[in-house]
Chains A and B, each alone.
Chain A
Amino acid sequence: MKDKLTPKNIIFALLICFLPLLMFAIDDLVALLSQSGIYLGWPGGEYMLRIIVRAGVYMMLAVGLNIVCGFTGLLDLGYVCFYLIGGYTAGILMARLGVSYWVALPLAVLHGTAWGLLRGAPTLRLTGDYFAIVTFGFAELFFRIVRNEQWLVGAPNGQLRGIPSPTLFGITFNQNWHNYYHILILLTLVVFITYRLQHSRVGRAWVAIREDEQAAESMGINVSRYKSLAFAVSAAIGGLSGAFIAQFQVNISAPFFEFWESILILCMVVLGGMGSIRGAMIGAAILGSLGEILRPGLIIPYQFGNPRYLIFGIILILLMRFRPSGLSLKKHNTNTA
């Protein structure tokens, strides 16, 4: 991430800024072509935008998970629980209590952060294995809470319907292109903060903890404090993603936040190369949209199960065996100690 104004970078930036326009332009073009009898396999600009927005949410989640898994080197198997907490906090506040999105969003982030700290606290003095177990247990617990506690969510199975879209100055942000710019702003913010953290004292402390916890401690790094900070930032990003997805999806339910979702996000981080923000985003962009794009082709095997996860599992095994640094160019992103 070098801020150089090369033509390539400028074109890329312009593409990102005007992507919705491009999508609608393609729509018009396809409509024009179909009038003259040419049909292309274009799924429609609105549909593409939805996929892109969802991939954007996954990018945000992957960047958040990368803080704990990539920077501090702890395995988080329940990252989805912050996504869930953010989603249900914002969703319940907005749909059931009529709170504005602009209030619900920071509350969801705070709520996520609080649980991130609480969840990590018991494992600060223990090995990374215990952290992995606790994260796993927490994700399952929260999943069961939203599924079982009807008084909280209002319907069985964690179904929360009719989450209103955010409004500002009388405009309701419910279009797909609204959401595109919405997630673009949030993602830029998250990436900027994470990038700055990574290249600061804090980021170096995290990497030091990952490489050798005892050595880091003896060099004067307060391991518990920096680990807690990583948990908090990571959880905050999860909460933010959840709050966004709640208003984007309008209806959410418990299966949306199942355990496998955590593994999917982990897979994105591993594919991109643990410890690399850019890698996490690329991994998320690939795996987050791949399932959607391949869906028509995968309909037949779908009856037998979910081959997506079979492929993800193979990706994880092969990457760990042959290329632990993932797609990223750096050879040694993960420690070899």
Chain B
Amino acid sequence: MAQLLEQFINGLVLGGIYALIAVGYTMVYGIIQLINFAHGEIFMFGAYLALMLITVFNIPFWVALPASMLLCAMLGMLIDLVAYRPLRDAPRLSALITAIGISLVLQNLARMIWSARPQQFPTETLPAFFVSEVNMQTGEILNAIPLPGGGILPYRDVFILALAVVLMIALNRLIHLTKIGKAMRACAQNRVASNLMGIKTNQVIAITFAIGSALGAVAGIMVGLSENITPTMGYYKGVAAFAAAVLGGIGNITGAMLGGIIIGLAEVLGAGYISGGYRLAIAYIIMIAVIVIRPSGLLGKSTATRA
């Protein structure tokens, strides 16, 4: 029972991370109907950039986090400007292949810059309350909440989950209450008409990429706090997050959040209770099942068929 509770919390934390990445996929898809395969790589860059800022430039964690977000937002906008914008009116296949190409370039670039060796944020550079431990002799629990049954809930996980929730709410408010949010919704409905109404669609798309990438960077840093940072993490976590976006209904932001939590829980519980070897496959199975049973996803519009 204690194990289940702990697994459940781990699943929630992972789900929060997936939700943050999935939002990036779904926002871009909602506006330009492009599966931005490079988004996973941006998320990976977010982690590496923060790591580099902290270890090489000795910047404190609380500055590195927004700095990495900013850098990733710029990277996302740059990718849109250089690679996707010229192809806006080209066949969709061209844009998809370009996205794959960018993903390849970024992943191998990361491997060349930072090597394939798994890395972690050095413990001493992190804020003190991130480091939880249980003193075996005294039974004293440091920086963690004791759970019934003997488990612990590290403050780090509380922080990740809380930050994910705060960012989600902020994004939701941004989309629904601000002018740029309104412009984004308009573009998602009909890009050509929005353009005719005087909305600078290219600017809106660039901002969408920036927001998605910044959220991705946060997710990357969160993964870096609890797991290893590797050049392939963008690929693996990216696909799971994409599955979350599909599950929630691609193009639907609330759906992406919900999908992220479900995929995260399914992955952790499935790996714990079914088979560890298929840990990553669980997301794919859910994704394929969703496409077979309900392609529009949990919250998507039912008109998923589009020529």
Give chain A's interface residues, CB within 8 Å of chain B. 69, 73-75, 77, 122-123, 125-130, 132-134, 136-138, 140-141, 144, 147-148, 212-214, 259, 263, 266, 270, 274, 301, 304-307, 309-310, 312-317, 320-321, 324, 334-337
B93 and A213 within 8 A (CB):
no
1/0 per position for B280-307, CB-CB distance to A under 8 A? 1100110110011001000000001111
B83 and A321 within 8 A (CB):
yes
Interface status of B98 (Cβ within 8 A of chain A)? yes
B97 and A138 within 8 A (CB):
no
B102 and A317 within 8 A (CB):
yes
Q: In the complex, how many angstroms separate the beta carbon of A109 from the nearest chain B beta carbon?
A: 24
Instruction: List residues of chain A with CB within 8 A of the CB of B96.
Output: 75, 129, 132
Q: In the complex, how many angstroms separate the beta carbon of B166 from the nearest chain A beta carbon?
A: 30
B93 and A75 within 8 A (CB):
yes
Instruction: List residues of chain A with CB within 8 A of the CB of B116.
Output: 305
Interface status of B86 (Cβ within 8 A of chain A)? yes
Look across to chain B and name the residue whose beta carbon is closest to the beta carbon of A77. Answer: B100
Report 11 cross-chain contacts, Cβ distance below 8 Å, ordered by A residue: A122-B291, A126-B295, A133-B246, A138-B288, A141-B284, A144-B277, A263-B100, A313-B101, A313-B108, A316-B98, A320-B98
B93 and A73 within 8 A (CB):
yes
In the assembly, what is the distance between CA of A291 and CA of B26, in Å? Answer: 36
Give chain B's interface residues, CB within 8 Å of chain A. 33, 35, 83, 86-87, 90-98, 100-105, 107-109, 111-112, 115-116, 231, 235, 239, 242-243, 246, 275, 277-278, 280-281, 284-285, 287-288, 291-292, 295, 304-307
In the assembly, what is the distance between CA of A128 and CA of B304, in Å? Answer: 11
In the assembly, what is the distance between CA of A310 and CA of B231, in Å? Answer: 13
In the assembly, what is the distance between CA of A309 and CA of B232, in Å? Answer: 13
Instruction: List residues of chain A with CB within 8 A of the CB of B306.
Output: 127
Chain B interface, >50% SS class: helix
Q: In the complex, how many angstroms separate the beta carbon of A313 from the nearest chain B beta carbon?
A: 3
Q: In the complex, how many angstroms separate the beta carbon of A320 from the nearest chain B beta carbon?
A: 5
B90 and A336 within 8 A (CB):
yes
Instruction: List residues of chain B with CB within 8 A of the CB of A136.
Output: 239, 284
In the assembly, what is the distance between CA of A77 and CA of B96, in Å? Answer: 10
> Which among A133, A134, A140 is the interface contact of B280 at CB below 8 angstroms?
A140
A304 and B87 within 8 A (CB):
no
In the assembly, what is the distance between CA of A246 and CA of B292, in Å? Answer: 32
B288 and A134 within 8 A (CB):
yes
B291 and A334 within 8 A (CB):
no
Instruction: List residues of chain A with CB within 8 A of the CB of B280.
Output: 140, 144
In the assembly, what is the distance between CA of A270 and CA of B93, in Å? Answer: 11
Q: In the complex, how many angstroms separate the beta carbon of A168 from the nearest chain B beta carbon?
A: 39
B35 and A334 within 8 A (CB):
no
